[in-house]
Structure 1
Amino acid sequence: MPLSRIVMRLARNPGTEFAGGDDHRGYALTAPLTADGMLDEESYAKTRDQCVVRRFAPDEDPADGRLARRGQRWFFDYDDADTADDEPVYRLGEHRFAVGEYVTVTDEDGRPLTYKVVEVQPAG
Protein backbone atom coordinates (compact mmCIF):
# COMPACT_ATOMS: atom_id res chain seq x y z
CA MET A 1 0.00 0.00 0.00
CA PRO A 2 1.48 3.39 -0.95
CA LEU A 3 2.01 6.05 1.67
CA SER A 4 -0.10 9.19 1.92
CA ARG A 5 0.80 12.66 3.11
CA ILE A 6 -1.86 14.01 5.46
CA VAL A 7 -1.90 17.63 6.60
CA MET A 8 -3.99 18.61 9.62
CA ARG A 9 -4.40 22.20 10.82
CA LEU A 10 -5.64 23.40 14.18
CA ALA A 11 -9.43 23.69 14.10
CA ARG A 12 -11.62 25.78 16.37
CA ASN A 13 -11.11 24.75 19.98
CA PRO A 14 -13.59 26.68 22.18
CA GLY A 15 -12.36 27.36 25.70
CA THR A 16 -8.69 27.54 24.66
CA GLU A 17 -6.50 30.28 23.26
CA PHE A 18 -7.26 28.67 19.88
CA ALA A 19 -11.02 29.27 20.00
CA GLY A 20 -10.95 30.42 16.36
CA GLY A 21 -8.45 27.80 15.19
CA ASP A 22 -5.04 28.51 13.68
CA ASP A 23 -4.09 27.54 10.12
CA HIS A 24 -0.41 28.01 10.99
CA ARG A 25 -0.39 25.20 13.59
CA GLY A 26 -0.70 21.56 12.77
CA TYR A 27 0.82 18.31 11.66
CA ALA A 28 2.06 16.78 8.42
CA LEU A 29 1.83 13.00 8.69
CA THR A 30 3.03 10.28 6.33
CA ALA A 31 1.15 6.99 6.73
CA PRO A 32 -0.44 4.18 4.67
CA LEU A 33 -4.19 4.51 4.14
CA THR A 34 -6.80 2.08 2.88
CA ALA A 35 -8.92 2.96 -0.16
CA ASP A 36 -11.56 4.44 2.16
CA GLY A 37 -9.04 6.65 4.01
CA MET A 38 -8.54 4.60 7.15
CA LEU A 39 -5.10 3.90 8.59
CA ASP A 40 -3.86 0.66 7.01
CA GLU A 41 -2.57 -1.21 10.05
CA GLU A 42 -1.16 -4.12 8.06
CA SER A 43 0.83 -1.81 5.79
CA TYR A 44 1.92 0.25 8.78
CA ALA A 45 3.68 -2.82 10.19
CA LYS A 46 5.70 -3.03 6.96
CA THR A 47 6.38 0.69 6.52
CA ARG A 48 6.66 1.81 10.14
CA ASP A 49 10.06 3.49 9.60
CA GLN A 50 8.58 5.67 6.84
CA CYS A 51 5.59 6.79 8.94
CA VAL A 52 6.78 10.19 10.10
CA VAL A 53 5.16 13.29 11.53
CA ARG A 54 6.15 16.95 11.63
CA ARG A 55 4.49 19.30 14.11
CA PHE A 56 4.58 22.93 12.99
CA ALA A 57 3.67 26.22 14.66
CA PRO A 58 4.77 29.81 14.08
CA ASP A 59 6.20 30.25 17.58
CA GLU A 60 8.33 27.09 17.75
CA ASP A 61 10.79 25.12 15.65
CA PRO A 62 9.23 22.22 13.73
CA ALA A 63 9.33 18.94 15.67
CA ASP A 64 10.01 15.77 13.69
CA GLY A 65 8.86 12.43 15.00
CA ARG A 66 7.19 9.21 13.99
CA LEU A 67 3.81 7.56 14.14
CA ALA A 68 4.00 4.86 16.81
CA ARG A 69 1.72 2.29 18.35
CA ARG A 70 1.50 0.38 21.63
CA GLY A 71 -1.37 -2.09 21.60
CA GLN A 72 -4.37 -0.17 20.25
CA ARG A 73 -2.93 3.18 21.39
CA TRP A 74 -1.54 5.36 18.57
CA PHE A 75 0.63 8.39 19.22
CA PHE A 76 3.19 10.77 17.76
CA ASP A 77 6.63 10.08 19.26
CA TYR A 78 9.42 12.65 19.06
CA ASP A 79 12.06 10.87 21.19
CA ASP A 80 12.31 7.07 21.53
CA ALA A 81 14.00 7.39 24.93
CA ASP A 82 11.34 9.68 26.46
CA THR A 83 7.62 8.94 26.77
CA ALA A 84 6.89 12.41 28.21
CA ASP A 85 6.93 13.89 24.70
CA ASP A 86 4.41 11.41 23.26
CA GLU A 87 1.23 12.95 21.83
CA PRO A 88 -1.67 10.45 21.86
CA VAL A 89 -4.07 10.58 18.94
CA TYR A 90 -7.65 9.85 20.00
CA ARG A 91 -8.96 6.65 18.39
CA LEU A 92 -6.60 7.00 15.44
CA GLY A 93 -7.32 3.49 14.19
CA GLU A 94 -10.99 4.50 13.75
CA HIS A 95 -10.46 7.86 12.02
CA ARG A 96 -11.04 8.40 8.34
CA PHE A 97 -8.42 10.65 6.81
CA ALA A 98 -10.31 12.70 4.27
CA VAL A 99 -10.40 16.44 3.69
CA GLY A 100 -12.86 17.98 6.14
CA GLU A 101 -12.60 15.23 8.78
CA TYR A 102 -11.43 16.01 12.33
CA VAL A 103 -8.74 14.35 14.47
CA THR A 104 -8.00 14.97 18.16
CA VAL A 105 -4.38 15.06 19.29
CA THR A 106 -3.36 15.46 22.92
CA ASP A 107 -0.57 18.03 22.89
CA GLU A 108 2.65 18.03 24.94
CA ASP A 109 0.79 19.88 27.72
CA GLY A 110 -1.86 17.14 27.97
CA ARG A 111 -4.63 19.16 26.27
CA PRO A 112 -6.80 17.43 23.67
CA LEU A 113 -6.97 19.72 20.63
CA THR A 114 -8.96 19.18 17.46
CA TYR A 115 -7.36 19.37 14.03
CA LYS A 116 -9.01 19.44 10.63
CA VAL A 117 -7.68 17.33 7.76
CA VAL A 118 -6.97 19.83 4.98
CA GLU A 119 -4.93 17.72 2.57
CA VAL A 120 -4.51 14.04 1.69
CA GLN A 121 -2.32 13.10 -1.25
CA PRO A 122 0.13 10.38 -2.26
CA ALA A 123 3.48 10.81 -0.55
CA GLY A 124 6.19 11.42 -3.04
Structure 2
Amino acid sequence: MTLYRVRMHAARSEEFPEGSKAHGYDFVVPLDKQMRLDPDAWKNHSRDCRVHRFWSGEEDQRGLLRHIGRGWVFDYDEEETDDNEPFFKLDRHEIKEGEYLSVKEQDGETRTFQIVSVQPYVQ
Protein backbone atom coordinates (compact mmCIF):
# COMPACT_ATOMS: atom_id res chain seq x y z
CA MET A 1 0.00 0.00 0.00
CA THR A 2 1.13 3.48 -0.85
CA LEU A 3 -0.51 6.83 -0.27
CA TYR A 4 -1.12 8.78 -3.46
CA ARG A 5 -2.04 12.36 -4.20
CA VAL A 6 -4.77 12.50 -6.82
CA ARG A 7 -5.78 15.61 -8.73
CA MET A 8 -8.96 15.73 -10.74
CA HIS A 9 -10.63 18.45 -12.79
CA ALA A 10 -14.23 18.93 -13.86
CA ALA A 11 -14.84 16.81 -16.95
CA ARG A 12 -16.63 17.99 -20.07
CA SER A 13 -20.29 18.58 -19.38
CA GLU A 14 -23.10 20.95 -20.20
CA GLU A 15 -21.84 23.16 -17.37
CA PHE A 16 -18.20 22.93 -18.54
CA PRO A 17 -18.19 22.20 -22.31
CA GLU A 18 -14.37 22.08 -22.38
CA GLY A 19 -13.95 20.74 -18.86
CA SER A 20 -12.36 23.01 -16.27
CA LYS A 21 -8.97 23.13 -14.57
CA ALA A 22 -10.38 25.77 -12.21
CA HIS A 23 -12.89 23.33 -10.69
CA GLY A 24 -11.76 20.17 -8.97
CA TYR A 25 -10.13 18.34 -6.13
CA ASP A 26 -6.74 17.30 -4.77
CA PHE A 27 -6.92 14.39 -2.35
CA VAL A 28 -4.76 11.76 -0.70
CA VAL A 29 -5.83 8.12 -0.83
CA PRO A 30 -4.22 4.72 -0.11
CA LEU A 31 -4.09 2.55 -3.23
CA ASP A 32 -3.21 -1.10 -3.64
CA LYS A 33 -1.05 -2.63 -6.41
CA GLN A 34 -4.02 -2.57 -8.79
CA MET A 35 -4.39 1.19 -8.13
CA ARG A 36 -7.68 0.71 -6.33
CA LEU A 37 -8.70 2.17 -2.99
CA ASP A 38 -7.30 0.10 -0.12
CA PRO A 39 -9.93 0.30 2.68
CA ASP A 40 -7.78 -1.54 5.23
CA ALA A 41 -4.87 0.85 4.70
CA TRP A 42 -7.27 3.78 4.96
CA LYS A 43 -8.13 2.68 8.52
CA ASN A 44 -4.48 3.19 9.50
CA HIS A 45 -4.02 6.42 7.52
CA SER A 46 -7.45 8.08 7.69
CA ARG A 47 -6.04 11.36 9.07
CA ASP A 48 -3.57 11.55 6.17
CA CYS A 49 -6.36 11.25 3.60
CA ARG A 50 -7.05 14.94 3.17
CA VAL A 51 -9.00 16.71 0.44
CA HIS A 52 -8.71 20.19 -1.00
CA ARG A 53 -11.69 21.33 -3.10
CA PHE A 54 -10.98 24.27 -5.42
CA TRP A 55 -13.83 25.94 -7.25
CA SER A 56 -13.41 29.18 -9.16
CA GLY A 57 -15.38 31.97 -7.54
CA GLU A 58 -15.82 30.11 -4.25
CA GLU A 59 -13.73 29.76 -1.13
CA ASP A 60 -11.52 26.65 -1.10
CA GLN A 61 -12.62 23.85 1.21
CA ARG A 62 -10.46 21.37 3.09
CA GLY A 63 -11.51 18.15 4.72
CA LEU A 64 -11.00 14.40 4.85
CA LEU A 65 -11.79 11.34 2.78
CA ARG A 66 -14.06 9.24 5.00
CA HIS A 67 -15.90 5.95 4.84
CA ILE A 68 -19.51 6.33 5.94
CA GLY A 69 -21.92 3.41 5.78
CA ARG A 70 -21.25 1.70 2.47
CA GLY A 71 -19.69 4.64 0.69
CA TRP A 72 -16.82 7.09 0.52
CA VAL A 73 -17.24 10.83 0.95
CA PHE A 74 -15.33 14.06 1.12
CA ASP A 75 -16.19 15.46 4.55
CA TYR A 76 -15.40 19.09 5.32
CA ASP A 77 -16.82 19.23 8.86
CA GLU A 78 -16.98 16.12 11.03
CA GLU A 79 -19.78 17.68 13.10
CA GLU A 80 -22.05 18.15 10.06
CA THR A 81 -23.36 15.68 7.49
CA ASP A 82 -24.97 18.07 5.01
CA ASP A 83 -21.54 19.09 3.70
CA ASN A 84 -20.54 15.53 2.76
CA GLU A 85 -19.84 14.88 -0.91
CA PRO A 86 -20.29 11.18 -1.74
CA PHE A 87 -18.42 9.39 -4.50
CA PHE A 88 -20.12 7.06 -6.91
CA LYS A 89 -18.54 3.66 -6.16
CA LEU A 90 -15.05 4.97 -5.44
CA ASP A 91 -13.95 1.54 -4.19
CA ARG A 92 -14.69 -0.06 -7.58
CA HIS A 93 -12.66 2.31 -9.76
CA GLU A 94 -9.07 2.12 -10.87
CA ILE A 95 -7.45 5.40 -9.85
CA LYS A 96 -5.22 6.39 -12.75
CA GLU A 97 -4.73 9.31 -15.12
CA GLY A 98 -7.47 9.63 -17.70
CA GLU A 99 -10.11 7.79 -15.66
CA TYR A 100 -13.28 9.44 -14.40
CA LEU A 101 -14.89 9.67 -10.96
CA SER A 102 -18.28 11.10 -10.03
CA VAL A 103 -19.00 13.11 -6.89
CA LYS A 104 -22.38 14.27 -5.61
CA GLU A 105 -21.55 17.78 -4.46
CA GLN A 106 -23.10 19.89 -1.72
CA ASP A 107 -25.51 21.54 -4.17
CA GLY A 108 -27.02 18.10 -4.87
CA GLU A 109 -25.55 17.84 -8.38
CA THR A 110 -23.51 14.80 -9.36
CA ARG A 111 -20.55 15.93 -11.42
CA THR A 112 -17.94 13.92 -13.26
CA PHE A 113 -14.25 14.63 -12.83
CA GLN A 114 -11.28 13.42 -14.85
CA ILE A 115 -8.18 12.26 -13.00
CA VAL A 116 -5.28 14.35 -14.31
CA SER A 117 -2.50 13.13 -12.02
CA VAL A 118 -1.74 10.35 -9.56
CA GLN A 119 1.56 10.66 -7.71
CA PRO A 120 3.06 9.05 -4.61
CA TYR A 121 2.28 11.26 -1.63
CA VAL A 122 5.23 12.71 0.23
CA GLN A 123 4.41 14.25 3.61
Shorter-normalised TM-score: what interval? over 0.9
User: What is the correspondence of 1:21-36 to structure 2 with a 5 Å cutoff?
Assistant: 21-36=19-34
Which residue of 2 is the match for residue 10 of structure 1?
Answer: 10
Deviating 4+ runs (over 6 angstroms): none
TM-score by length of structure 1 reads 0.94
Q: Tell me the secondary structure at the aligned position of residue 64 of structure 1.
A: strand
Which residue of 1 is the match for residue 121 of structure 2?
Answer: 123
Instruction: Give per-residue Cα distances to partners, 1:9-53, cap 9 Å, x unaligned.
Output: 000123xx2233211110001011011110011100110111111
The alignment of Structure 1 onto Structure 2 pairs a total of residues equal to 122
Instruction: Quote the offset at 1:60 in angstroms.
Output: 1.4
Which residue of 2 is the match for residue 113 of structure 1?
Answer: 111
- Matches of 2:108 and 2:18, distance apart in 1: 20
Q: Tell me the secondary structure at the aligned position of residue 77 of structure 2.
A: coil
Which residue of 2 is the match for residue 64 of structure 1?
Answer: 62
TM-score by length of structure 2 reads 0.95
User: What is the correspondence of 1:37-116 to structure 2 with a 5 Å cutoff?
Assistant: 37-116=35-114
Unpaired stretches in structure 1, ≥5 consecutive residues = none
The two structures, once aligned, show a CA RMSD in angstroms of 1.0
Percent same amino acid at aligned positions?
A: 37
Q: Tell me the secondary structure at the aligned position of residue 65 of structure 1.
A: strand
